[in-house]
Amino acid sequence: MSSTSTASTSRYTWGADETLFVEIAEAMSLEANFKAMALARALADDAPAGIVDICPANASLLIRFDPDILHPADLERAVRDLEASLASGPTPVLETRIVEIPVWYDDPFTSEVQQRFREGFHQDPSGTDLEYAAAVNGLAGPDEFIRRHHAEPWIVSMVGFVAGLPFMFQLVERDEQLEVPKYLSPRTDTPPLTVGHGGCFGCIYSVRGAGGYQMFGVAAAPIFDPAQSLADFEEFMVFFRPGDIVKFKPVDEAEYRSIQAQVADGTFRYRQAPVTFELDRALADPRSYNRTIMEKLNGI
């Protein structure tokens, strides 16, 4: 059920009779992810009646629709036309924000869980996740890995798996990406707000539960608030949105406890600033452009 009016490099397939899947690329890249987000936002701004949900992912887009209202052929035609419009126009920019996420690296909570899941679960039962991550990346040790982890910002490429969990990759050249294999076998326990890593993707576990990513620390404040008790969750119970830029900030135990107290009394606010993200500049000189983005936080 393909439209022939527009050439496209994406692959369009159907999931039963209620979802259209647009695979933009087989390989993950900033360009593919940016296109997925741009296409999702363009579709949301001019959505035909009958679209139920739009879910951008790392290099794809899933659209759920009501076939009793919107004919599949009409939906595909509309999406293809939007894709063609984006391709023929100037490189789109992404109106987003940069958010500072305080993290207690090498914390006791993830350290305790690591020790319960070493033998038979981990590639190196004798060490820690940070030691293993540093070794596989050819770094001097955990301190150097932690520095690399928070020195450059990350982009939220998608949100999912469990409610509010962001998948992120770092805005650096491909040969500078931190890459760490997942656990050999998934754990049945992961502390809430664990900062994890699997492959080239980072994440923050929004709730306690199973998981297979290496564990490096814990974020100090919630990213999922069903009660919407904090001001940052006034509009929605999930904090992160695809396209958010994340700057991790290392904190010690005292700072962590202080932030936890602010969360408990309802006064905590994330440091964040609006950003117009320009793909061309990010690709041309990532390190310089990252400095420009991170400077946005200095003025708040």
State residue 81's pLDDT score.
Answer: 93
State residue 4's pLDDT score.
Answer: 36
Q: Which residue, of 89, 109, 144, is where some domain finishes?
A: 89
CA distance 15 to 122: 36
State residue 8's pLDDT score.
Answer: 64
- In this structure, the answer to whether residues 23 and 114 fall within a common structural domain is no
* Percent of the chain residues past pLDDT 90, beyond the cut: 88
Read off the CATH number of the domain in which 282 is found. Answer: 2.40.100.10
Q: What is the distance, to the nearest Å, from the Cα of residue 117 to the centroid of all Cα atoms in its chain?
A: 25
H or E element at residue 195? strand 194-198
pLDDT reading at 290 higher than 80: yes
Q: Which residue, of 40, 71, 89, is where some domain finishes?
A: 89
pLDDT reading at 47 higher than 90: no
- In this structure, the answer to whether residues 151 and 256 fall within a common structural domain is yes
State residue 2's pLDDT score.
Answer: 34
What tens digit of pLDDT does each residue of 171-192 get?
999 999 999 999 999 999 999 9
Confirm whether 230 is domain-assigned.
yes
Q: Which residue, of 89, 122, 152, is where some domain finishes?
A: 89
What tens digit of pLDDT does each residue of 88-128 get?
888 878 999 999 999 999 999 999 999 999 999 999 999 99
CB 286 within 8 A of CB 172: yes
Owner of token pair 């509009």: 235
Q: What is the pTM of this model?
A: 0.91
What tens digit of pLDDT does each residue of 231-262 get?
999 999 999 999 999 999 999 999 999 999 99
Which residue range is the domain that position 66 belongs to? 11-89
pLDDT reading at 195 higher than 70: yes
Overall number of domains in the chain: 2
Q: Which ranges of the chain would DSSP assign to H, the alpha helix?
A: 30-45, 72-88, 108-116, 129-136, 142-151, 253-265, 279-284, 286-294
CA atoms in the 13 A half-sphere facing the CB of 18: 4
- In this structure, the answer to whether residues 80 and 220 fall within a common structural domain is no
CB 277 within 8 A of CB 293: yes
